[in-house]
Structure 1
Amino acid sequence: MSTPRCGSSLFCSSLQSTNLFGHPSEWFNVRHIEDYGQVWGLPNVHIGRYLNHIIERTTTPNGVFSVNFHVGQYDFWKRQNFDLMSLKFDKIIYVYRRDKIAQAHSYARALKTDQWQTLFAAREEVGPEGISTALVLDLLSKIVEEEQRFTQQFAPVITARYAYEDYAVNPEIYRDALKACGIDCPPGTTFSTDLGILRNAADEARVAEIKAYVTGQAR
C-alpha cells in the first residue's frame, strides 16, 4: 500500500523481477479494469471474475500473489462495497516518501502530463511554470490526509515500511522486504527494473522554489 508518486511502481517492479513476489501491479486501478473490459469486449466487468483472471496469471511458481494499491484506491473500492482487505493478504507492506513536497510535485506533474512512468509518453509537455504552487500544496494535503487515514486504519497490521529515499539507492531493501514476507531469497538474487526517473533538474529547481515559499525563505 502507498500514496501516489512515492515510487511504489519502482519498488514493486524490482521485487517482481525476482519471480518470487508475484506481479504486483496496480490491478485495482480503474484504468486496468477498463482495459480488461475493452480487450474482452465486456461492457461491465465482474470484479470477481476479473480478480480470478489476474490471480491465475500473476501468481509466481512459489505461490505468491501480490498487488500494489494506493490508500485512495482502497477507499474508492470500499465505497463500491468491496473491501480489498477481504482478500486476506498474509503480509502488508507500506511504501512511502519522506520528501512530501517532492512527492506532491511529482503527483501534480503526472496529472498534468498523464505520464506516470518512463515507459509511456506524456500526453502533453508541461514545463516548471505549468506546475503551480497552489496545485502542489493541494495535492500535498491529499497525500497527508491519505497517510493519516492509512495509519489510523492499518498501522497495527503492517509487516514493514520502506521509504523511497532508501530503496531507490539501496537494493538490499528489496531483499529485506522478501525476508519480511517470509519469502526465501537465494544468494545471488538480483533486482532490476525497466522504470527510469521522470524528474529532471528543472523539476528539482521547482521543488526547491516551493519549499522556499512554504518555509518563508522565498524572496
Structure 2
Amino acid sequence: MHILLAEDETVTRLAARALLERAGHRVVAVEDGPTAVAAAAGNAFDLILMDLGLPGLPGDDAVRAIRRQPNGAAPRILMLTASATAQGRSRCDECGADGILTKPLRLDVLSTALDGRSPAASPATEPAFDEDAITTMREMLPAARAAELIGKAATVLRRHGLVLDEALAAGDMATAGAMAHKIAGVSGQYGCLALRRAARALEGELERPGADPARRASELAGILAPALEFLERRAAAGGS
C-alpha cells in the first residue's frame, strides 16, 4: 500500500516506518498536522495512519481537514494513539477516521483492523518488558541502526521524564499530561510495557477534575529508571 504516516515523535516514527517498509509498503512520513493535510491533498494514499497528538494541528482536526478535501473520502484513515483515556478515545471516534490503533504499531494488529476485525484483547497480565519488540527491530534494521534507535529512545524517554517532573512541580497539568502521553507512545514501541502502563495511568489521572497525580507520578518515576537501563543495555549490545 501507499501509506501516509503522521507521527511527531522521531524515534516512534522511524521505528513504525521501518516496520511498514519491511512489510513492502511505500511510506511517506510526516511529523505535524499541517504537513499531513498537505500531503493528503497532493497524493493518492491507500491508508493514512494519523497520530492523535500532532503539533500544529491535532490529529483529529487533521482528519477533519482531510475529509473536507475533494478526495478526502477515498483514503482509509486509522488513528494512532498511546492514550487510554476516555477523552482521547472519544476524540478518535468522533473525527471521521475509520478506526483506532493503540500504539505501538504492529503489523498483525494493522492487518486485523484493515480486515474490519476487532484486535485481540491484551493479556490480563503483561511482563515489564517485551523482548520481542527489540528482536523485531533488530530483524528490520542493520544492527548499528537498531542500536542507534534504541539508544535515542532512551534519551527521549529521559528527556520527557525531566519535563514531566518540571511540569508537575509547576502545577502545569496540561504539559504533564502531554509528557505522560509521549512516554506511553515511545515506551510501547520499544518494549517497555510496565512504563507504558504507568504513563497511561498517570495520563488518565491527570484528565480527572481535581487530579492528585502524586502517587501515579511516583510509580512512573520508579519504573522509568529500569526502563532506561533496559534500553541502554540493548543499545550497547548492538540491539541484540
Q: TM-score interval w.r.t. the shorter chain?
A: 0.3 to 0.5
Query: TM-score, with normalisation over the residues of structure 2?
Result: 0.36
Larger RCO, structures 1/2 (Cα 8 Å, 6+ apart): 1
Higher helix proportion, which one? 2
Query: TM-score, with normalisation over the residues of structure 1?
Result: 0.39
| Larger-Rg structure | 1
Higher strand proportion, which one? 2
